[in-house]
Amino acid sequence: MAAATKTSNAMISLALPENRTTRLAIQVLLAVAGTIILTLSAKTNVPLGPVYLSLQTLAVLLIGAAFGMRLAVATVLLYLAQGAMGLPVFQGTPEKGIGLAYMAGPTGGYLLGFVVMAGIVGSAADRGWGTNPFKMFGAMLVADAIMLGLGFAWLATLIGAQAAWTAGVLPFIVPDLIKVALASAIVPAIWSLLPKKKS
């Protein structure tokens, strides 16, 4: 854990101290803060034509880019654990159910996809891609495509492939491209404002 943190080029590596205990405490606090951001983003809907879109995808992309792979994945897993325990952290909770019953519903594949998305973007950040908008765009685009693919695959088992594509993928392609473009522009912009990491 310590070695991975030292070699990470994610944004948060600039703020982590060398002391292992202090570093772990800060990482726990960051993970909890990340789950709060994910919850707020899930509950924030932006009208876009006939559909209302949450900002959660954007939040996952930015958490992955800022935290790096390990901490980003841990944050999303903690968020899912909160939801599994019945906390109303998801977009449709508590109106459409809570806990594992909700997670096994239509959005289950997308929730799993968030973990993969955080891992892919976080890994790209660990490699130092956060300062390059083109590399980060590519990584985020792949991550988003896989997330949508997992969401589609699970939804297709519930309502069929055609309906899953029409309701669960097609309406989100353009909005997600906008979110990917926005996130891949925000991250390098923030990097440009930060002090350079000493080697």
> What are the tens digits of pLDDT across the range 43-70?
987 776 555 667 999 999 999 999 999 9
Give yes or no for a contact between 130 and 188, defined as CB atoms under 8 angstroms apart: yes
- The segment with the largest mean pLDDT, out of 87-91, 97-101, 139-143, is 139-143
Burial of 23: CB neighbours in 10 Å, binned 0-12, 13-18, 19+: middle
Give yes or no for a contact between 99 and 41, defined as CB atoms under 8 angstroms apart: no
The pTM is what? 0.89
Residue 197 pLDDT greater than 90, yes or no: no
Q: Which CATH architecture has domain 2-193?
A: Orthogonal Bundle (1.10)
**What gap in Å lies between CA 122 and CA 9, rounded to an integer?**
10
The residues pairing with 51 across neighbouring beta strands, listed in sequence order, are 48
Give yes or no for a contact between 91 and 99, defined as CB atoms under 8 angstroms apart: no
94-122 mean pLDDT: 94
176-190 mean pLDDT: 92
Backbone angles phi, psi at 53, to 5 degrees: -110, 140
